[in-house]
Amino acid sequence: QVQLVESGGGLVQPGGSLRLSCAASGFTFSVYAMSWYRQAPGKERELVARISNLGGITNYADSVKGRFTISRDNAKNTVYLQMNSLKPEDTAVYYCATNIFKSYWGQGTQVTVSS
């Protein structure tokens, strides 16, 4: 079965960096696009970044362009989100996701940006 397991979240000061990882299993990873979403308290879940199956195409939310980088290692079945210049408004639970006839989500990892 499809499994997505995020890691790498934590507490970081404004201006700091974190790298999130999402380990995938149960499907042919290199065939499918992968995405990172986030959900802040009281807000709807929003798309942060998306990467095509071979990594050649990436898309970002305007709010993270120039600060976040999505990448993937198909040999390791893992997708990453490098987050730099973090702001308090980046505080949220971050989820990785894919769509294989339906949406699959990980359990999420908390990112808190605070001094």
**Percentage with pLDDT > 90 across the chain:** 100
Query: Sorting pLDDT into bands at 50, 70 and 90, what band is 101?
Result: very high
Q: Which residue has the tokens 């308090």?
A: 88
* pLDDT at 15 (0 to 100): 98
Alpha-carbon distances, residue 70 vs 98, 102, 115 (angstroms): 14, 22, 25
Structure tokens at 80: 């990453």
* pLDDT at 16 (0 to 100): 98
Three-class SS state of 90: helix
Residue type, 92: A
Residue type, 75: A
Q: Which residue has the tokens 């990453």?
A: 80
Q: What is the mean pLDDT of residues 52-78?
A: 97
Q: What is the mean pLDDT of residues 80-89?
A: 98
| Burial annotation 54-86 (CB, 10 A radius, 16+ → b, else e) | ebeeeebeeebeeebbbebeeeebbbbbebeeb
